[in-house]
Amino acid sequence: METVDSNALSAQHLVKIYNPDRPELAVRAVDDVSFTVERGESVAIVGPSGGGKSTLMYMLGCLSRPTSGSYLIDGRDVARLSDDALAEVRNRHIGFVFQAANLLPRRTAVENVMLPLAYAGARGARERALEALERVGLAQRAAHRPNELSGGQLQRVAIARALVTRPSLLLCDEPTGALDSRTGREILDLLEALNREGTTLLMVTHDAAVARRMRRALRIGDGRLEADGPTEEVLDGAPARASDAGGG
Amino acid sequence: MLLWETLGTAWKALGASKLRTALTTLGMVIGVGAVVTMLAMGEGARAMVEGKIRSLGTNLLSVTPGAPARGPVRTGSVETLTWDDARAIAELREVARVSPESMGSAQVRYLAKNMTSGVVGATVPYLAVHSYDLTAGTAFSDNDLLARRRVAIIGANVARTLFGNLSPVGERIQIKGMSFKVLGVLEEKGNEGFSSPDDQILVPLSTHQAALFGRDYLSSIALQVASEEATSRVQTEIKRLLRLRHRLGASAEDDFDVRSQQEMLQVMGQVIGIFTALLGSVAAVSLLVGGIGIMNIMLVSVGERTREIGLRMAVGARRRNILLQFLVESVIVSVAGGLVGLGLGAVGAAGVASVAGWPMVVPVYAVVLALATSFGVGLVFGVSPARRAARLDPVEALLHE
């Protein structure tokens, strides 16, 4: 149990098959993937489109269950949890940042950040939401609605929403994909800073420049884990694949 | 905490498309409004009938021709009661007053004005038995009856229609083309259910039978019993007497019916109850339609907010949180419609009450029923869309365009 505890997450022989009941339609989207991530790591998940990156991320984010294999997050085996328990894991242990900010349009920034706390049943939600906004540098925009904020500000609100329950794992799916390069760099700076403070960071990206900001990279192709190691080695070790990752 | 978030979300979601929300609510407004109006109408009519029972007293009996009917529908011959039957009844002990009556309908004219009016052939005790008073002139006498004089007492509405502000007493009106002298005017009684004395004209029974309608049977015999406790004794006596007079064998059915005024009003109360239930259930159908409207809009709303649902699941919403969210929204729409409908129904009931002239009653059970029903409709028709939302796959919901 000592070793399990030092890991933020541990995936063993993860398999995800879509339409497992109908062999002619069955798709092995993730095929026997095993790896562990220690607390405080920053990991990029790279690979070609349709290679299984997103499917893997949804399983790591507890949004779907593996068909087989085990997945432990903070020592708990997610594959065996009920829907309600999965919702609680997402609520307390995982923060999501998607390509689109996905904010509720008619709510202010602070109200959007408070949303996960409502489902957690936490007290002092507004104060904690304001703290989270302060951490992403948007305290002065707390009362603004999404249509009054820029793209970078929207993504910062989304990051604050992901942080507000103090999760151990931050899952990012192309967080800079919809932003210009300068704003994208600012968002990455922010994520890096959060990582230095101890949050485990997992980032799905097809952009090599973004991936290089992470210390470690996993390359997924055809559902299999093709490479796992320091980012520079994974990206440069197989030039053909690296250009794939760079070109999207 | 979560409650406020749920209510806040509901408020924003419903406020986002106000017209759509208002139109969805309209179904419930109309449904609840209609049900409340119908129930209030029934209660108003019932209250009026009960008021009459109290004011009439219980020592009135009414004999009508034809076999006794269980419901309000009369069967059998209607030409069995005669004036001689009435005279014989008057001879019975404990009978105070007897009023033989014959109903007809005729064209009535005064100068250039004319109307169709009920014409009642009556005798002297008529006014006393029905506790009617005159506002002007005099009643007719036994002499008027003996001489078959062409004299009339007219109801308040008849007087207003034919004479306006003029005094009718002493004037001559035409009934079926025959000239009648107006002796008096009845005081105004208001609506008495199915017919009102205000719209009638009284003439001597002898004149009614011989000159106007040429028939010798009666429509009814009303009588006053000397005391209340004698009522059922007299009822039995009249039955025995009339069976004898009509030469009915032991196996033959009665060809007449004796009822106390109270029994008749109870029958009316039952009829009102049946009508209320019938109209209420027709109105309740619109509640069903309103509920289907809510379900439809909630399904549309779930479809539009699929990504939002996915996001909520991603940040930790349990399936029951999502279920509750959409249930709360449909119940809010439904209950809001119910409240507005309740107000509208009360206004409708007040309108009907003022036209029909009965007390305005919105019974407590109707209010409770309206609110409970609208809550129930929101719940029942909200369940299916809410379950659909709660069962969404988080990944598919997040990827939904």
CATH number of the domain residue A84 falls in: 3.40.50.300
A108 touches chain B (CB under 8 A): no
B270: pLDDT strictly greater than 90: no
CB A37 within 8 A of CB A4: no
Which chain B residue has the Cα nearest residue A59? Answer: B395
The DSSP symbol for B253 reads P
**pLDDT band for position B73 (50/70/90)?**
low
- d(CA A83, CA A63) in angstroms, rounded, equals 9
B287: pLDDT strictly greater than 60: yes
Beta strand pairing call for B151-154 and B95-110: unpaired
| Per-residue pLDDT tens digits for B162-215 | 998 899 999 999 999 999 999 999 988 766 555 678 889 999 999 999 999 988
Q: What is the pLDDT of residue B193?
A: 52
**Polymer length in residues for chain B:** 401
Half-sphere exposure in the Cβ direction for B64 (13 Å, CA) = 15
Q: What is the pLDDT of residue A247?
A: 38
Q: What is the pLDDT of residue B58?
A: 67
CB B383 within 8 A of CB B328: no
B131: pLDDT strictly greater than 90: no
End-to-end CA, chain A: 39
Chain B positions touching A90 (Cβ under 8 A) are 313-316
Domain count, chain A: 1
CB contact under 8 A, A104 and B308: yes
Beta strand pairing call for B172-175 and A68-73: unpaired
CB contact under 8 A, B319 and A87: yes
Beta carbons within 8 Å of B282's beta carbon, 6+ residues apart: B38
Indicate the average pLDDT of chain A: 88
Distance from CA of B4 to the nearest CA of A (A): 9
Q: What is the pLDDT of residue B306?
A: 95
Q: What is the pLDDT of residue B259?
A: 86
CB contact under 8 A, B315 and A61: no
Indicate the average pLDDT of chain B: 88
Nearest residue to A93 via CA among A112, A78, A83, A114: A78
Map residue A3 onto helix, strand or coil: helix
Q: Range of A114's domain?
A: 2-247
CB contact under 8 A, B5 and A115: yes
- Helical axes B18-56 vs B261-304, angle rounded to 10°: 170
Q: What is the pLDDT of residue B209?
A: 92
CB A60 within 8 A of CB A231: no
Sign of torsion, CA B351 B355 B360 B362? Answer: negative
The phi and psi torsions of A45 (rounded to 5 degrees) equal -110, 110
Q: What is the pLDDT of residue A26?
A: 85
CB pairs under 8 A between A and B: 72
Which chain B residue has the Cα nearest residue A165? Answer: B315
| Per-residue pLDDT tens digits for B12-26 | 888 888 899 999 999
> Which residue type does B357 have?
G
B253: pLDDT strictly greater than 60: yes
A240: pLDDT strictly greater than 90: no
Mean pLDDT of the B335-343 span: 94
